[in-house]
Amino acid sequence: MTWGLRFRVWVCLIGICATSPAWAADLLTANVTLIDGTGAPAVKGAWVSVKDGRIDRISRAPIRAANADKIDGKGKYLIPGLIDIHVHLKGGGAWGDKPAPDIEKSLKGLRAYLDNGVTTIFDAGNNPEFIYGLRAQERAGEIVSPRIFATGQVFGASSLRGRGQDPNALPDWPEIEARLERVIAMKPDVQKFSFERFGANTGEVIPLIPLDAMARIVAYVHAKNVRTTIHITDEVIASTVVAAGMSTPEHPVVTAPISDALAKRIVDGKIAFATTFSIFDDTEGMGWPAWTKPMIAIAQANVKNLVEHGGIAALGSDHFDAAMVHHEIMRIGQMGLPPTTTLRIATLNGAIFIGREKEFGSLERGKWADMVLLDADPLADLTNLKRIHAVYKAGQRIQ
């Protein structure tokens, strides 16, 4: 130890080293209550500095950063930007959303997500040219938008065999491979599949494609370094897709309590899944019969069961409306989990779902500074997540 260092340690021991050396930072939030999104308890009096768009330092002691833009965090709460991993953005013309493309409509929708504190979305099915075009513009910094991740075209059962055809009469593998290559060529962030009936619960019932074919498709896509997600509704389908090695179901099981065996496979396999409770608040709008309404409570019980055993639930609204993110948070909150867990479901777990948790999703050193500053404590009341003071994407203030 040099004499200089020894002197400094000694000075610190007697408690006068509060003035750390000046730190190069672009943005400094001072004396804020930090809720980092990992599920850890809130930290009062935190200092958070941002450099080149990323979280650079988090400290309980004051950080000196002479040239940084300073935010007085007193009485405020800093959380990661919210993430919705089941969106179908409006304006793309998918599912009767006409006229399309309507870029004005989609840009308004994207802006609304940011204004509601949502800094990342995963579009789980849309017109591919439309959504991949917006994704390219977002990544080039040309539009005001949350981070866009997308699947483009959902690879459905009809992509394989056509509606109403014998489920076992699949095309030969080279033909399936060619069809898979066509969707992979568009660079989905996660490729979504739907191998069951059309519509969530009420459409035409078609048998699942055989497990070995599904497993081969999944393995092929994963070998191309593309994650997979899939529409599910019930135990049989969920068990099959888990056995086939799918990365992430885009819904919980909604028809009945899941078996312990399936719960164990999901938890042990660290398989993230979407919540999508809100969709059952609009069964009339979806044209579903009244008997689908109680599925919300079944879904909540299944998700609660999984989360309490260590499962990774991620907020997905299955909607196109930013306000529905807060509605989904209310539905997640109804499960009675600790509020730090609810917040993790709405942030870090979404990043895990899309495989980007090393880049963002929580407020930790080195991650993108996607942050929301709140005027009231979200852990005291989840509706305080709407008390938005400022939204930052990669350290840039949006709102």
Using CB under 5 A, list all residues that contact Zn ion.
124, 318
Cβ distance to Zn ion smaller for residue 95 or 173: 95
Q: In the complex, what is the shortest distance from the CB of residue 161 to Zn ion, in angstroms, rounded to a whole number?
A: 22
Alpha helix (H) ranges present in the chain? 3-13, 103-115, 128-139, 157-161, 173-184, 211-223, 235-243, 260-268, 283-286, 295-308, 323-333, 339-345, 348-353
| Phi, psi of 347, rounded to the nearest 5 degrees | -135, -90
What's the one-letter identity of residue 101?
Answer: P
Cβ distance to Zn ion smaller for residue 119 or 276: 276
Q: In the complex, what is the shortest distance from the CB of residue 88 to Zn ion, in angstroms, rounded to a whole number?
A: 6
Q: In the complex, what is the shortest distance from the CB of residue 224 to Zn ion, in angstroms, rounded to a whole number?
A: 23
Q: In the complex, what is the shortest distance from the CB of residue 125 to Zn ion, in angstroms, rounded to a whole number?
A: 6
Q: Provide the token pair at 182.
A: 């066509």
Q: Provide the token pair at 91.
A: 């304006």
Q: In the complex, what is the shortest distance from the CB of residue 185 to Zn ion, in angstroms, rounded to a whole number?
A: 23
Cβ distance to Zn ion smaller for residue 196 or 318: 318
What's the one-letter identity of residue 59?
Answer: S
Q: Rounding to the nearest 10 degrees, give the CA dihedral for residues 299, 114, 225, 130.
A: 100
> Which residue has its beta carbon closest to Zn ion?
318
Closest CA to 164 of 200, 192, 205: 205
Q: In the complex, what is the shortest distance from the CB of residue 71 to Zn ion, in angstroms, rounded to a whole number?
A: 36
Cβ distance to Zn ion smaller for residue 56 or 84: 84
Cβ distance to Zn ion smaller for residue 157 or 371: 157
Order the strands of the 118-123 sheet from edge to edge: 82-87, 118-123, 147-150
Cβ distance to Zn ion smaller for residue 318 or 370: 318
Reduced to 3 states, what is the DSSP secondary structure of residue 92?
Answer: coil
Is residue 246 within 8 Å of 193, Cβ to Cβ?
Answer: yes
Q: In the complex, what is the shortest distance from the CB of residue 340 to Zn ion, in angstroms, rounded to a whole number?
A: 27
Is residue 46 within 8 Å of 61, Cβ to Cβ?
Answer: no
Sign of CA dihedral 180, 186, 187, 189: negative
Cβ distance to Zn ion smaller for residue 87 or 329: 87
